Amino acid sequence: MNLSKSKYCNGVQCKKMLWLQKNKPEEKMDVSNDSVLDNGSLVGEYAKKLFGEYIDIEFNENLNKMISDTKEALNNKECIITEASFNYNNNFCSVDILKKNDNNYEIYEVKSSTEIKDIYKDDIAYQYYVLTNLGLNVTKACIVHINPFYERIGDLNLQELFKINDVTDEIILKQEEVKTRIKEINEYMENKEEIPNDISINCVKPYDCPFFKYCSKHLPKNNVFNIRLMRNSTKFKLYSEGIYSYDDLLNSDIDSKYKQQIEYELYDKDDYINKDSIKNFLDTLYYPLYFLDFETYQQSIPEYDYIKPYMQVPFQYSLHYIDSENGTLKHKEFLADAGIDPRRRLAESLVNDIPMDGCTIAYNMSFEKSVIKNLARIYPDLSKHLMNIHDNMYDLMIPFKNREYYTKDMHGSYSIKYVLPALFKDDPSLDYHNLEGVHNGSEAMNTYANLSNLSKEEQEVMRHNLLKYCELDTYAMVKIWEKLKEIK
């Protein structure tokens, strides 16, 4: 077959994945993440500038055009070529960055990750194989990835933003493996009928396979892969031992919290409520109460000072609050304008909306605390007030994380997206599916990141959707708090 570096890497993970893509594409599930794809594209564009002036080989559906353009560029004695394209025996690859110095070549594979994964070495080993078999003298093979410790202050420093790792020696040692894998992949793809490969950890490592649902259709409805919070490695180990149905799992040596999920779902057990523990938790709270939720987005390439790659940058919050017992529920909110650094105005608004020593409630407060702590770090004049909010924060997730309140409809999770519908069945006002445009944190992140690319009219619509989504997050917290009060 015609291989590319992405197809080769798919084949390294699982040859059947490639076969299904060709022969049963209708079974493919969408496991892509738009923000990951966008980040990868942006990182690639910045990495092209690492070594100065470069010749870019423009993408073309006609791969032969890219190959011929590359040959023309290689007429230069010294040059940097991005997306340099080659084909050897139906094995095609585009090299992210190719450095030519006379008759010596260096290849650089760019990744938007903050670390090196084994699959990246397979990727660049395949490129090395193609180029060296075409007669090119490749003297260096490197993986370029994001430095997570780089913090932008002033102009963007590409040399500090990226880390370059020389993996030449490892790649050379993998060349026989590449040759063998290519042969095995091609032989596998010649099969006319589907070969029954069993599922394994390769279904989720290094990437989630889009055919997992298809390949696991032999499993009973209630199986080990429905167990929340259990590591994938543990799930596949149990599966390999023939322990995967709920009945099997109940008779196995697994943690009691997993058995709790199984028992509640199998036997439709009544809700578990530890009234004393919940009362103790509620007694720690005091008026005025402020229910806070942030929305954040990430930048692979930091646009503003004091931002590290993939840092959570807050752009929005919702705040429901009650001044006193039997007081009226009120609401405030903030959403930054598009295309600006949102943090300063958000921080100023937050300290204006939450007074010193107020009782602030979050769901999974470690996230909100980390956002506030970072704001306090970069804005010393607001630090005292921000850290007061930070230090007077309480976590509404605790009773559910500790399983002091548990129902079968939580399915082993203490995420608010599971707890809320479990406590309030069929309440349309608390159903995220009834929102327009933005239904979860990932959609909120992508929506704000893309806001400046929209027309004014489109921005107004999406801003409305963002506000409604975030408002529901804190309103949901209020309803959960009220539910806990009912059983006090």
Whether 181 shows a pLDDT value over 90: the answer reads: yes
Q: Given this chain, do its domains 5-189 and 270-488 carry the same CATH topology?
A: no
Return phi, psi of residue 321, to 5°: -150, 155
CA distances in angstroms from 199 to 14, 225, 239, listed in the order given: 10, 12, 9
- Work out the pLDDT band at 1, boundaries 50, 70, 90: confident
Kindly give the pairing relationship between strand 162-166 and strand 272-273. unpaired
Domain boundaries, the chain: 5-189, 216-267, 270-488
Q: Taking residues 388-415, report their average pLDDT.
A: 97
Asked whether residue 33 carries a pLDDT value surpassing 70, the answer given is: no
pTM of the model: 0.92
pLDDT score recorded for residue 199: 97
204-250: per-residue pLDDT in tens? 999 999 999 999 999 999 999 999 999 999 999 999 999 999 999 99
pLDDT at 157 over 80: yes
Residue 426's pLDDT is what?
A: 85
Core vs surface per residue 346-356: b (16+ CB within 10 A) or e:
bbbbbbebbee
Task: Count Cβ neighbours within 10 Å for each residue of 448-478 and write b for 16 or more, e otherwise.
Answer: bbbbeeeeeeebeebbebbbbbbbbbbbbbb
Q: Provide the percentage of residues in the chain whose pLDDT is more than 90.
A: 96
94 strand-pairing partners: 85
Q: Kindly compute the dihedral angle of the four CA atoms of residues 464, 470, 473, 476, in this order, to the nearest 10 degrees.
A: -40
270-488 carries CATH number 1.20.144: no
Is the pLDDT at 312 greater than 70? The verdict is yes
Read off the pLDDT of residues 316-358 as tens digits, 9 standing for 90 and up.
999 999 999 999 999 999 999 999 999 999 999 999 999 999 9
Segment 430-471, tens digit of pLDDT: 999 999 999 999 999 999 999 999 999 999 999 999 999 999
Residue 408 has pLDDT above 90, yes or no: yes
Q: What is the pLDDT of residue 488?
A: 61
Dist CA 260 CA 266 (whole Å) = 10
From 33-37, 267-271, 395-399, the region with the lowest mean pLDDT? 33-37
Q: Do 145 and 114 meet the contact criterion of CB atoms below 8 Å apart?
A: yes
Classify domain 5-189 at the CATH topology level. Answer: Lambda Exonuclease; Chain A (3.90.320)
Q: Stretch 84-112: mean pLDDT, rounded?
A: 97
